[in-house]
Structures are given as structure tokens and as C-alpha cells.
Amino acid sequence: MTGTITELELIPRDMINLFRKIRQKMANDNRPLMYLRYAAGEILLVVIGILIALQVSDLNEKRKNSNSEQALLKDLKSELQGNVEALKIIIKEHQRSLDAALRVESFIKDSSMLEAIPNEDLDSILRVMNRNWTFDPKLGILNSTINSGKIDLIQNKEIRYELSSIKESIVDAFESTDDIEQSRRTLYRPLVSKYSNIVGSKTLTFASKNMFSDVHFAWWTDFMILVRREGLDEENELMTFLNEVNEHIESAIKK
């Protein structure tokens, strides 16, 4: 194979030829003991060459694996950083949703505040409160790394474990988002439709402040505050985890 170093290539050919001539002379002179000594020397020389060739091959393989590991770590870091930036946007929007829910709660508790705010502003606050952004991470490189077994190229065991845990951590962090999405379809939308005008075929526009005295709406608001807070805690924990993984990968990348 082209580029492969064999054991014979590591032994000077003049030396091999010399051993062969001496061995032949010993055989012709009928000197078996000397013949065996030189034959053993030649075998030993070949064995040493094989051992050296194996060592060189092992070093070459380790170098190739190290280069592959470094390229893989850089790709994973780039993908992970993109997901961190996307998660920042999700957290920001979910915080806005929580803040809006807290304002709605204050309107429910204080009718004077409710009466003072225009319907258009209430409509905007309700829309922000009920937005439920979903996190759609890009995990192509991570999935390929795990499924192909290339994750074994990564020498750091902690990084391997963390990478294997990312998908599960994302699912756990967004259970609250799933709960809100399901409840919004089955509970909130039928409720708000009683107090809203339908624009087109889907859009609901807030039209009546009477909804704020509906016990079902008060329950929904409490639900949003509770679940959104839990979700934000989980999302911020995920952010911390992803940043830690990113730092560990960065420390494993050779400068």
C-alpha cells in the first residue's frame, strides 16, 4: 500500500545482503553452528524491524485519530454555540410571557387597573402572555457523532458523557412548553373565544373585559405563571449545562 512503511524498509539493505552472504558461506563451509547464529541474527533483525514498523504505524494512527478528534470537537463547538444563541432567544421570549401573565394577574386582582387600560393594550398583553416559543435545536453533527461511533474519538470521558446527555436534557427542559401548548389548545382557546371577535378564520381579537372576572380565566392565568416559572428555571439550567459543555470542549481543543 502506498505510503506504508514495512519492516524491511527500516533495515539497511546492505546489512541484509551481508547477513545472507555470510549465512550462505557458513552453509557452504559446513559450519552449522555459525550458520545458525547468523540466521538467528538475521531473524532478530527482521523482528526488530517489524516491532519498529508497528510502533510507527501505531503513532501514525494516534496522530490521525487526534486530528480527527480536533476537527470533530470544533464542529461540535460550532453547532453547540448556535444552539446556545437560539436558546437565549427562547428564554427572553418566555420571560416576556411570564411578565405579561403577571400583569394580567394584577388586572384580575385590581378592577381599577383593568378599567384604565385600553382594550387594544390588553389584546397585546394577552398575546404576549400566551406565546409559547419552542426550541428547535440543530443536532445534526451531534447525532452523527453518536450514531456513527465517532464519539469514541473524544478522549475526555466527561465530554463524551455530556454530549450523550444533551438531547435528554433538552427534552426535560421543555416539558413545561409542551404542557402549555396542549392546554392552550384544549382550555385557553375555547375560553377566550367567548370574549373575542374572530378575524378571518383563525385570529382572535380581544373584545371584552368581562373575561377577567371569569374563574376559568383566572385559573388559566395562575397556570401560565406557575408553569412558565418552572419552564424558565429548567431552560436556564439547560443554558448553564450547554455553556459548561461548550467550555469543556473549548479546553480540549488544541490552540
Tens digits of per-residue pLDDT, 137-182? 999 999 999 999 999 999 999 999 999 999 999 999 999 999 999 8
pTM above 0.85? no
**pLDDT band, very low/low/confident/very high, at 2 (cuts 50, 70, 90):** very low
Q: What is the pLDDT of residue 47?
A: 80
How long is the chain? 255
Q: What are 46-76's pLDDT values in tens digits? A: 788 788 888 887 788 888 888 999 999 999 9
For residue 214, what are the CA distances in angstroms to 177, 195, 211? 24, 10, 5
Question: Which of the 8 DSSP states describes residue 152?
Answer: G
Q: What are 184-197's pLDDT values in tens digits? A: 888 888 888 888 77
Share of the chain above pLDDT 90, in %: 55
239-253 per-residue burial string, b: 16 or more CB within 10 A, e: under 16 = bebbeebbebbeebe
